[in-house]
Structure 1
Amino acid sequence: MFGRVALDTYIDLRDVRVSGYVSVGLITLVAAASVWGTVNDWQGGSPSWSFLAIVLLLPAAVAFVVWYRNATHNAEAIALHGVRMVSQVWKASDPDQREVPFAERVASPLIKPWQYAFLTMVLCDVLESLLLDTRVYVVFSTLSTLCALGAAGLACFVVFRISAMQQRFAVPIRQRP
């Protein structure tokens, strides 16, 4: 008697685009300041640019945490599964793996290198600050910058890709009767 009514499927997700753009912008500024600081170090200049990179790291970290909290919230809503790590957020957010059981989903192989590059950058920054008035300061400054560039590039990729994947879930999908 009554026909079946088609409803739209919609998952209420937080918008991660703005916090993602802010994170990526600040991460890029940290990497740029680190490069400029290292160039100044090579020329015997002041370490103030390297210090600027460290100062910019705090707002970049805050912006990333805001993005990550929202992306984690979205991933849990999408996958209906406890999500805490970046690899799990990727697995939950990937619409191409929607039909695959969560335990069998695959995360991006670039997540681990990004995390290792970031940790190496932090370690080099610590060593750089401890060895400020020595000859090896420039070595650790250069290593820190190389790791910062690698970590920044990979972080930007991960943030953009997860944000784009989650955005696909936020768009209502018309169900056909």
Structure 2
Amino acid sequence: MDTYIDLRDVRLTGFVSQGLIALVAAESVWGTVNDWSGGSSTWSFLAQVFYLPAAVAFVLWFRNATHNAEAIALHGVRMINDVWRASDPSQRSKPFKERTVSPLIKPWQYAFLAMVLTDLLETLLLDTGAYVVFSTLSTVSAVVAAGLACFLIWRISWMQQQFAVPRAKRR
């Protein structure tokens, strides 16, 4: 592609988001394994503490990715589907509304929603026998949501870099 657009670099915020999202998932797994062995629920709670920094990093990445997508597509972009449509260089010749989105976006959204709901139930059922069941469901949902989120962040960041102005390499 011979047209370059000066875009915000989303790689750093993307890497930070991916790292924190992976940390939330890993902490969730560790907490659930600890719960299975009769340990404390503190580990599962610690995963919830990491949600805020992961959410802030993701929002920063998404804000910059949305800015880039608007610059690429010259179109109002507000949702992750639109960011994908605008960022995909292979669909550049198609009208914006006819561009397809990643089939992984909906499963990511559903896995994230399942994670939040099972986390809520897990917290409400803290001292009951059902706690471990919802802790396990929450962990499975967290791992799926984290994996899909990390892939989508990486892919959108990579696609947007295809439109960026090439920089001279430093020696």
User: Structure 2 length as normaliser, TM-score?
Assistant: 0.95
* Contact 2:115–2:138 under 8 Å retained in 1: yes
Structure 2: how far apart are the matches of 1:39 and 1:171? Answer: 46
Per-residue CA deviations over 1:86-109 (Å, capped at 9, x if unaligned) read 011000000000000000000000
1:69 and 2:83 matched: no
Which structure has the larger Rg over C-alpha atoms?
A: 1
From 73, 84, 94, the equivalent of 1:100 is 94
1:15 and 2:13 matched: no
Aligned residues: 165
* Contact 2:119–2:134 under 8 Å retained in 1: yes
2:105 match: 111
RMSD over aligned CA atoms reads 0.9
From 49, 52, 58, the equivalent of 1:55 is 49
1:120 and 2:135 matched: no
From 135, 147, 164, the equivalent of 2:141 is 147
Q: Counterpart of 1:122 in structure 2: which amino acid?
A: V
Structure 2: how far apart are the matches of 1:104 and 1:85? Answer: 16
SS in 2 for 1:27: helix
Aligned residues with identical type, % of pairs: 76
1:171 positional shift: 3.2
SS in 2 for 1:96: helix
1:12 positional shift: 1.7
Specify every segment of 5 or more residues in structure 2 that has no aligned partner in the other structure, as ranges: 167-171
1:80 positional shift: 0.3
User: Structure 1 length as normaliser, TM-score?
Assistant: 0.91
Specify every segment of 5 or more residues in structure 1 that has no aligned partner in the other structure, as ranges: 1-7, 173-177
1:9 positional shift: 4.0
2:169 match: none
